[in-house]
Structure 1
Amino acid sequence: MGLIINIIVIAIILGFAGYQIFRAVKRSKQGKCAACDYDCEAKKLLNQSKKRSL
């Protein structure tokens, strides 16, 4: 019984990891970085430069 539970847990972990990799590859094909959802320093600088050029 313990072996089956371990296999299920491993399958869930690998499935989630595969999903995250798929999402990252899909997003990178669109020209976005993996951190585009976050408010990182590079994104702040880009937004500031866009505001200055307007």
Structure 2
Amino acid sequence: MGLLVNIIIIAVIIGFAGYQIYRAVKRSKQGKCAACDYDCEAKKLLNKSKKHAL
């Protein structure tokens, strides 16, 4: 019984990790970084340079 519980827990962890990798690859194909949801310093600099280019 304990072995079955451990296998289920490991499967859930590996499945979640695989899902996160899939999402990161999907976003990177769209040209977005993994942190595009956050207002990081790199994003601020990019937005600032786009404003000055116009």
Normalising by structure 2, report the TM-score. Answer: 0.87
Q: Which structure 2 residue ranges, 5 or more long, are not aligned?
A: none
Q: Deviations over 1:1-51 (max 9, x none)?
A: 111110000000000000000001111111111111111110011112223
- The equivalences for 1:34-45 within 5 A come to 34-45=34-45
3-state SS, counterpart of residue 32 of structure 1: coil
- The equivalences for 1:9-20 within 5 A come to 9-20=9-20
Q: Which structure 1 residue ranges, 5 or more long, are not aligned?
A: none
Query: CA RMSD for the aligned pairs?
Result: 1.1
How many correspondences in the alignment? 54
Give 1:30's aligned residue: 30
3-state SS, counterpart of residue 37 of structure 1: coil
Identity over aligned pairs, percent: 83
3-state SS, counterpart of residue 38 of structure 2: coil
